[in-house]
């Protein structure tokens, strides 16, 4: 069998796709790079917003046409597959296999009965499976929990991924060992709400550490770089901030979604914290990790959001001074309380507010990034950049970086780089040696190819 996977959505979905691919390979399948080569195509779906669902519909439409011309098995997994909406889409587009997020290890049984229409539910034994490490990669994801016990009114995750289930620390550390043996340098701990790790359904699990304790345990493994996502401010504690500052491997990057700067909107979202409480967490982070790079999520145009509410979000952005933000127009999702009970705002209004927020985000990103110009940063280079003679990677603060290839640094790895220029969304630099001197650039370096011939090209 020749199989091809298409993945939409978050880092959790990327991890799940890797897990399923490992299952398919163990069953004897060959993973191929395109639909044309495959006789089994599996789509890992996202249902958090409407746009990824539209993409799935479009791809399934093309696959149905392909299926009419040759033998092809179509599979759909992930969050959308768990919903009635997804099951209706699957029937419409003649999907053969349907797997919910907790049934990924059933892929073999599903393929054996591919003439049937499958709709499988959550199974906790997923946490006992350790997928093989990624081949030839310095970065990896490591799931520490699944599901969520919060019920934000806009969020479909509790419906698609179920209640929170923390993975046993022994399983986490075993998988971490396989990643270290494979040469991984940076691991991202994944969960819908990592701050609540070890407290499923609000109760402390016997024998499980808190998330702060888990950070320290992972840091003691010898992994050079640790990141984590996603954090819910309701469960953030100062102990987590302290563990970040006390664990050298934890990167100076914190993603703490706020969603809105208005207390009234936060209550309508059922976020369970106030603006003041959120700012307390920001202060704790900066106390224990003064150089932290701060990122957030913001939903613009939530039902009932007034201009005053939106101004509260803009003022919060200024008060925190975020380095970056993921900004979204509110997308009503069937099955959520906000879809059932709140009236959506006009799209034109939401779009106009988003544009104003983007302007503010670019201003702050430019200002915050400029402070790194002339500094030396540890950079994880992943491989060739978009232009010849260059490598691309990112700093511990998650800033994208482009550098010219240099003698002693022709491929992926951890290096030191002096940042020579910054834009709101990119760093440019030069690799340096232990003596602080720039490494000699390889002969095929072409500044014009990277748009580096003029500072104006980087603005």
Q: Report the range of poorest mean pLDDT among 24-28, 251-255, 358-362.
A: 24-28
**Residue 440 pLDDT class (50, 70, 90 cuts):** confident
Q: Answer yes or no: is 46 a known binding residue.
A: yes
pLDDT tens per residue across span 133-182 = 777 889 998 989 988 999 999 988 887 778 899 999 999 999 999 999 99
**Residue 18 pLDDT class (50, 70, 90 cuts):** confident
CATH code given to domain 136-366: 3.80.30.20
With a cut of 50, say whether residue 405 has pLDDT above it.
yes
Identify which of 197, 77, 102, 190 has the alpha carbon closest to the alpha carbon of residue 149: 197
Residue 447 CB neighbours (<10 A): 16
Give me the mean pLDDT over the 36-44 stretch.
91
- What is the structure's pLDDT at 439? 84
Q: Cα(377)–Cα(383) distance, rounded to whole angstroms?
A: 17
**Residue 458 pLDDT class (50, 70, 90 cuts):** very low
- The mean pLDDT of the chain is 87
- Show the tokens assigned to 3: 């199989």
Helix, strand, or coil here: 269?
Answer: helix
Q: Report the range of poorest mean pLDDT among 155-159, 290-294, 452-456.
A: 452-456
- Show the tokens assigned to 87: 């099951």
Q: Answer yes or no: is 251 a known binding residue.
A: no
**Residue 444 pLDDT class (50, 70, 90 cuts):** low
* Cβ contacts of 114 within 8 Å, gap of 6 or more: 73, 96, 97
pLDDT tens per residue across span 228-280 = 998 999 999 999 999 999 999 999 999 999 999 999 999 999 999 999 999 99
- What is the structure's pLDDT at 150? 93
- What is the structure's pLDDT at 19? 75
CATH code given to domain 2-121: 3.40.50.2300
Angle at 374 between CA 371 and CA 375, to 5 degrees: 75
Domain boundaries, the chain: 2-121, 136-366, 376-458
CB of 15 within 8 A of CB of 5?
no
With a cut of 60, say whether residue 447 has pLDDT above it.
no
Most confident among 44-48, 80-84, 112-116, 302-306 (mean pLDDT): 302-306
Give me the mean pLDDT over the 205-220 stretch.
96
Q: Report the range of poorest mean pLDDT among 63-72, 225-234, 320-329, 435-444.
A: 435-444
Give me the mean pLDDT over the 349-353 stretch.
97
Domain covering 376-458, topology:
OB fold (Dihydrolipoamide Acetyltransferase, E2P) (2.40.50)
Give me the mean pLDDT over the 382-389 stretch.
83
pTM confidence score: 0.79
Backbone torsions φ then ψ of 422, nearest 5 degrees: -135, 150
Distance between start and end Cα atoms, the chain: 48
CB of 235 within 8 A of CB of 193?
yes
CB of 232 within 8 A of CB of 238?
no
- What is the structure's pLDDT at 456? 30
Helix, strand, or coil here: 158?
Answer: helix
Dihedral of CA 323/326/328/331: which sign? negative
Query: Higher model confidence: residue 52 or residue 317?
Result: 317
pLDDT tens per residue across span 89-130 = 988 998 988 887 766 666 777 776 665 333 434 444 445 667
- What is the structure's pLDDT at 437? 87
Residue ranges of E strands in 121-174: 139-143, 145-146, 165-166
């Amino acid at each position: 069998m020749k199989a091809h996977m298409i993945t939409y959505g978050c880092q959790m979905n990327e991890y799940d796709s890797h897990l399923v691919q490992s299952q398919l390979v163990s069953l004897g399948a060959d993973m191929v790079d395109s639909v044309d080569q495959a006789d089994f195509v599996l789509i890992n779906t996202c249902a958090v917003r409407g746009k990824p669902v539209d993409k799935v519909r479009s791809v399934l439409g093309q696959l149905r046409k392909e299926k009419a011309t040759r033998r092809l098995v179509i599979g759909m997994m992930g969050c959308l597959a768990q919903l009635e909406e997804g099951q209706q889409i699957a029937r419409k587009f003649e999907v053969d296999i349907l797997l919910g997020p907790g049934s990924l290890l059933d892929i073999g049984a599903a393929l054996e009965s591919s003439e049937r229409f499958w709709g499988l539910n959550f199974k906790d034994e997923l946490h006992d499976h350790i997928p093989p490490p990624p081949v030839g990669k310095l970065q990896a994801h490591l799931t520490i929990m699944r599901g969520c016990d919060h019920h934000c009114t806009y969020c479909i995750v509790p419906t698609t991924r179920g209640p929170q289930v923390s993975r046993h620390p022994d399983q986490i550390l075993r998988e971490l060992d396989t990643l270290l043996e494979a040469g991984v340098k940076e691991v991202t701990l994944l969960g819908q709400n990592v701050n609540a790790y070890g407290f499923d359904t609000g109760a402390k699990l016997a024998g499980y550490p808190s998330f702060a304790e888990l950070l320290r345990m992972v840091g003691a493994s010898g992994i050079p770089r640790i990141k984590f996502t996603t954090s819910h401010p309701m469960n953030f504690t100062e102990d987590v901030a302290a563990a970040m500052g006390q664990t050298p491997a934890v990167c100076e990057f914190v993603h703490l979604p706020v969603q809105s700067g208005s207390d009234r909107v936060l209550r309508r979202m059922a976020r369970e914290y106030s603006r003041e409480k959120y700012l307390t967490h920001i202060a704790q982070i900066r106390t224990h990790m003064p150089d932290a790079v701060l990122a957030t999520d913001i939903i613009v145009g939530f039902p009932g959001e007034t201009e005053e509410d939106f101004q509260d979000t803009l003022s919060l952005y200024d008060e925190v001074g975020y380095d970056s933000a993921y900004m979204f127009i509110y997308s009503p999702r069937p099955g959520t309380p906000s879809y059932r009970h709140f009236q959506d705002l006009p799209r034109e209004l939401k779009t106009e507010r988003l544009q104003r927020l983007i302007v503010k985000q670019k201003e702050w990103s430019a200002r915050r990034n400029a402070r790194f110009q002339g500094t030396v940063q540890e950079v994880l280079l992943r491989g060739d950049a978009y232009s010849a003679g260059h490598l691309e990677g990112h700093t511990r603060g998650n800033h994208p970086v482009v550098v010219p290839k240099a003698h002693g640094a022709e491929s992926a790895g951890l290096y030191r780089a002096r940042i020579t220029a910054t834009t709101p969304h990119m760093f440019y630099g030069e690799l340096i040696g232990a003596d602080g001197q720039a490494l000699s650039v390889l002969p095929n370096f072409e500044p014009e190819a990277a748009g580096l011939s003029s500072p104006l090209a980087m603005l």
